[in-house]
Amino acid sequence: MASSGAQSDPSPETILVTGGAGYIGAHVTAALAASGRSVVVLDDLSTGTADRVPDGVTLIEGDVGDAAVVGAALHDHGVTAVIHIAAKKQVGESVARPLWYYRQNVTAMATLLEGCVDAGVGRFLFSSSAATYGMGSGGVIEEDDPPRPINPYGESKLIGEWLLADVARATGLRYAALRYFNVAGAVSPELGDPGVFNLVPMVFDALTRGERPRIFGADWPTPDGTCVRDYVHVADLADAHIRALDALQATGGEVTPEADAAETVDGLVLNVGTGQGSSVQEVIDAVGRVLGHPVDVEVVERRPGDPAALVASVDRITDVLGWSTSRNLDDMVSSAWEGWLALHPEAASLAE
């Protein structure tokens, strides 16, 4: 169990957030800034936008894989902790362009870690993914279940965890790898997800185009036949980052659960989900509640590579960080809808 130390932080800390201008990164950056911390964002603006970075936070436009950019960012700002969110995250694209994914997600991370070691950065949070589990076991997944990624995206995230564990062992870097499950929602419309790569925005997109949302298979071995996932609100996810950072600081490396302590004294791997599964149909029902009318769907073929069910065990993150979620599926879908409307005002007529 993480405990808060009696000693106070002797020097002000500065946190570098890579990818801080993107959907998840901007939420984490906003939460850090709101907690009074000094934050610097490093983002190449390939998918993020400068207007997502809050006032008072320095934005460095540059590549995480560029050693000179990383070195300058860390040294010039006296960075004490890094939250590494910048990455490519589309599964299909990773299958089509594996080497590019390895360069973006693995090689660049090695460069960032080299810079961190050189600059004496003490703590590192890494955005990992439930994609490291691959097909899972068909139900609730624990962090110690065997990781068996089934695409280059998931593989690149698992390798990222290995890089961290090895660097931590060699240098004493303290780290947490946060395995995100299905992230949705927004704290404000301006911070909504601009991408159309996940279920909730894909449903909104289909409806906006006057089409029926598609369900990829309704014959799965699940209660209603559609796939089950663990959807977590991005604001709860951002809060998990703050708690993880505090836990690494407060405990001086003693953040691992007892069972793992012998293996990984400097690091922590945590699922970030709710522990509750929702089916695709249940998500679409939530969209119907937000719009004020039922949503007509089209059931199509199963999508290759989809597991039937992937739900996080949240025992470890609850124990170690004292974290739990406070927002439900309707909060996610309604806030995602406000974000969608901010980018697609023409969709307003879809809601009654």
Residues annotated catalytic, as ranges: 153
Residue 311 sits in the site that holds ligand UDP (CB under 6 A): no
Tell me if 269 contacts ligand UDP by CB under 6 A: no
Q: What percent of the chain is helix, strand and coil (3-state, nearest 5)? A: 45, 15, 40
Q: Which is nearer to ligand UDP, 232 or 242 (CB)?
A: 232
Closest CB to ligand UDP belongs to which residue?
Answer: 227
Q: How far apart are CA 289 and CA 135, in angstroms?
A: 31
**Cβ distance to ligand UDP smaller for residue 119 or 232:** 232
Angle at 25 between CA 231 and CA 263, to 5 degrees: 75
Task: Give the Cα separation of 53 and 59 in Å (integer).
Answer: 7
Which two structure tokens, joined as six digits, stand for 306?
């989809």
With CB under 6 A as the contact rule, the residue among 97, 103, 212, 214 that binds ligand UDP is 214
User: Partners of 60 in the beta sheet?
Assistant: 42
Give the up-direction half-sphere exposure of residue 131: CA atoms within 13 A in the CB hemisphere. Answer: 23
Q: Does 90 bind ligand UDP (CB under 6 A)?
A: no
Closest contact distance (angstroms) between CB of 75 and ligand UDP is 37
Candidate ranges 105-113, 161-169, 207-215, 339-347; the one touching ligand UDP (CB under 6 A): 207-215
**Residue 276, interface with ligand UDP (CB under 6 A)?**
no
Distance CA 281, CA 274 (A): 18
227 binds ligand UDP (CB under 6 A): yes
Helix axis angle for 329-343 and 280-291, nearest 10°, is 60
Helices (H), 259-348: 280-291, 315-321, 329-343
Q: Which of residues 159-188 bind ligand UDP (CB under 6 A)?
A: 182
The one among 229, 241, 316, 327 contacting ligand UDP by CB under 6 A: 229
Q: What is the identity of the amino acid at 10?
A: P
Q: Which is nearer to ligand UDP, 27 or 123 (CB)?
A: 27
For residue 202, state whether it binds ligand UDP (rule: CB under 6 A). Answer: yes
Positions touching ligand UDP (CB under 6 A) are 182, 198-199, 202, 213-216, 227, 229, 280, 303, 306
